[in-house]
Structure 1
């Protein structure tokens, strides 16, 4: 274990987080709010702590596979622990455990909240909540990787630990170049979304914060009514944006490289859009009697389908009042999630497809015992290691899910509430159903349950294993 290098990476995380806090400080100054001063002071203290922590550059800059997982998990814990403090200093969220829940929900792009009145927050704090979505969407370490002078193998070990999906793709030979390309695409799409919302007549502050939430597939709104008060055009823009950010970023890279045929041949992307069309169509039909027109039903259905499958969590309606069929479809979408390599959460469409192919192969083996067929995905054979990793992922996922439900059930909420609360946090969705539905929040859970749900949010964002490895005794033993 290269402890000095881990400390070096953590110090950079602190410095970057401190610098990022200067943005809400600036927003506070623009709106003449005293809360901005808290972000300024705490941001500078974070920068100072980062400088003290890495006063000397490590002689060995190598990050091994185990180190990469520890670096990533500790970095995200540090982001939350330090990022929650301004909420407490300003007094807007006075209890630290609630502030920690709120900001971890932000960084992990979950969007689950403990607040019943978000409009009571200052503009600086509202911006910090949404900005945390944007930072966490692509991953803060991906940004740092574009800056740090490290060897390619070390960078790849960090990317593997932080990137969502069963595999990690390099766009260009240099991994640092891949990190830069990712953020260029991410920033470009975010700016395009902001521009579209501004042109539709939305207020500047709302446009920026909602665009950052859509980009990171988070779900923090700036109004108590969520996105219900916005015009139909603005809701459609957000729908398209959410769905776009749920696509594998490799798709956009191929399109930019004028390899459109290769991009649209992706089985995952095609399945992703097919699921959205089918789910949106069925819900539109099922909820049509509840709305004034078919147009309103379609708009509302596709907004919520796009919001849930991409794990964004924005809402324009209380879908807890929808018919059971529509609610069941939304719960299924919570588990499916977005594409691998996107900013979305969930199990991921690619894993679901490979699992279905595995089931098909096993059924074929029963009917034709002598047949030998390999599972193929996008015309490439799926390696045994990938299949094993997916199976292990699902087992661990179910164990964490079951354990979390067991613990939070102590607080006495209904089965539907607890089931969807874990689904909403482990899949980084945001709202669940019943008492954690789109018009409710997670405030009612006790401190222990909130800590469990905080762990679920971090584990879900980091694909489970980086968080679990912190509790594995051999992780902390020296090599040799």
Structure 2
């Protein structure tokens, strides 16, 4: 274990957190709010810890997958704790567990909230709350890699540990260049959505917060009804972008480099859009009687399907009142999630496709035991290692899911509430159904349940394994 490089990376996360908090400070100054002090104190705390840790560069810059996982897990815990300090100091969320819940929900782009009335919060706090989505969307370590050249190390291990999906590959030979490309695409799409929202008459502050939530597929709203009170134009633009941010960013790189055939041949992306289209049509038909016409039903179903499958969590209507078929489809989409290599959460479309192909292969082998069948994705053979890790991921995922439901059930809410609350947090979605529905929140849950869901949100965002490694004794041994 290379402890020095891990502390060095965590130190830079402290420093970056301080830099990120400058924006809500400016927001407080612009709106003349008294919460400026809470952010300034938080900045000082972050720098007081971060600067000494980064004062001296480590001589040994090589770190392996174990070091990468530990650095990522500790970095996200640091982000969550320090990010909660402004909420506590400002008095917006005085209880530490509630503040950490809200912060973890922001950075992991979950969007689940314990707040009952967000409209009474200061603009600076609302800005920070939404901005955490944008920071966590692409990943703070990916951002760090784009700025900080750690020549000589195995930096891909950091990106693999933080980036969502069963596999992460370099777009170009250098990891730092790959990180820069990812953030350039991310920033470009963010700016484009802000411009389109401004052109539609959406206020500047609202445009920024909505876009941060869309880009990070987070979903913290700055209004109590989330997105319901915004214009149809705003909802349509948001629908388009939350779906686009759920696409594997490798597809955008291929399009930018004019490799259009390769981009359109990506199986995961094709299945992703296919699932969305089929779900939207089914829900639109099923909810037609609840709206003024099929066009409105289609628009509303498209918004909710896009929001749920990408794990954004915005809501434009109370889908808790929809027919059972529509709610069932949305719950299933919670588990499917977005594409690997996107800012979305969930199990990921690629894993679902792999598991379906593996099942099909097993059925064929039952019929033809001597046949040699290769599992392929994008016309490439899928390695046994990839399939094994996918199976293990699903197994551990189900264990955590079941264990979490058992603990949360101690609060004596109904099964639908417990099931969807855990699904919403473990899959980084935001709203569930019933008590945790789109017009509800998580404030009614006990602190024990909130602590479990904090763990679930972090585990879901980090693809489970980096976080669990912290609890293994062998992880901390020096070899």
Per the normalisation by structure 1, the TM-score is 0.99
Alignment partner, residue 253 of structure 1: 253
CA distance in 1, matches of 2:83, 2:20: 10
Are the equivalent residues in 1 in contact too, given 2:62–2:152 (CA < 8 A)? no
Query: CA offset at residue 56 of structure 1?
Result: 2.2
CA distance in 1, matches of 2:231, 2:175: 42
Query: CA offset at residue 58 of structure 1?
Result: 1.5
Could you report, residue by residue, the CA deviation over 1:150-199 in whole angstroms, capped at 9, with x for unpaired residues?
13642111011001111111110001100000000000000000000000
1:49-88 aligned at under 5 Å gives the runs 49-88=49-88
Are the equivalent residues in 1 in contact too, given 2:61–2:153 (CA < 8 A)? no
Query: CA offset at residue 148 of structure 1?
Result: 1.9
Alignment partner, residue 351 of structure 2: 351
Query: CA offset at residue 294 of structure 1?
Result: 1.4
Indicate how the Cα distance of structure 1 residues 153 and 380 shifts in structure 2: closer, same or farther if over 3 A, else same: farther
CA distance in 2, matches of 1:47, 1:300: 45
CA distance in 2, matches of 1:118, 1:341: 31
Query: CA offset at residue 337 of structure 1?
Result: 0.2
Alignment partner, residue 216 of structure 1: 216
Could you report, residue by residue, the CA deviation over 1:379-409 in whole angstroms, capped at 9, with x for unpaired residues?
0000000000000000000000011111111
The 4+ residue runs of structure 1 with deviation greater than 6 A are none
Are the equivalent residues in 2 in contact too, given 1:165–1:463 (CA < 8 A)? yes
CA distance in 2, matches of 1:153, 1:11: 17
Alignment partner, residue 434 of structure 1: 434
Are the equivalent residues in 2 in contact too, given 1:251–1:263 (CA < 8 A)? yes
Could you report, residue by residue, the CA deviation over 1:416-462 in whole angstroms, capped at 9, with x for unpaired residues?
00100110000000000010000111111111111110000000000
Alignment partner, residue 121 of structure 1: 121
Query: CA offset at residue 40 of structure 1?
Result: 2.1
Alignment partner, residue 455 of structure 2: 455
1:174-323 aligned at under 5 Å gives the runs 174-323=174-323
Alignment partner, residue 92 of structure 2: 92
Query: CA offset at residue 61 of structure 1?
Result: 1.4
CA distance in 1, matches of 2:95, 2:443: 11
CA distance in 2, matches of 1:206, 1:113: 18
Are the equivalent residues in 2 in contact too, given 1:152–1:176 (CA < 8 A)? no
Alignment partner, residue 46 of structure 2: 46
Could you report, residue by residue, the CA deviation over 1:78-113 in whole angstroms, capped at 9, with x for unpaired residues?
000110010010001111110000010000000000
Could you report, residue by residue, the CA deviation over 1:231-265 in whole angstroms, capped at 9, with x for unpaired residues?
11111000000000000000000000001111011
Query: CA offset at residue 57 of structure 1?
Result: 1.9
CA distance in 1, matches of 2:343, 2:322: 27
Are the equivalent residues in 1 in contact too, given 2:206–2:222 (CA < 8 A)? yes
Are the equivalent residues in 2 in contact too, given 1:423–1:432 (CA < 8 A)? yes
Are the equivalent residues in 1 in contact too, given 2:61–2:152 (CA < 8 A)? no
Gaps of at least 5 residues in structure 1 are none
Alignment partner, residue 400 of structure 1: 400
Are the equivalent residues in 1 in contact too, given 2:108–2:461 (CA < 8 A)? yes
Are the equivalent residues in 2 in contact too, given 1:19–1:47 (CA < 8 A)? no
Are the equivalent residues in 1 in contact too, given 2:161–2:466 (CA < 8 A)? yes
What is the aligned length?
Answer: 479
Gaps of at least 5 residues in structure 2 are none
Query: CA offset at residue 52 of structure 1?
Result: 2.0
Indicate how the Cα distance of structure 1 residues 365 and 153 shifts in structure 2: closer, same or farther if over 3 A, else same: farther
Are the equivalent residues in 2 in contact too, given 1:16–1:47 (CA < 8 A)? no
Are the equivalent residues in 2 in contact too, given 1:227–1:235 (CA < 8 A)? yes
CA distance in 2, matches of 1:255, 1:57: 38
Are the equivalent residues in 2 in contact too, given 1:69–1:161 (CA < 8 A)? yes
1:450 partner SS:
helix
- How big is the alpha-carbon RMSD for the aligned residues of Structure 1 and Structure 2? 0.8
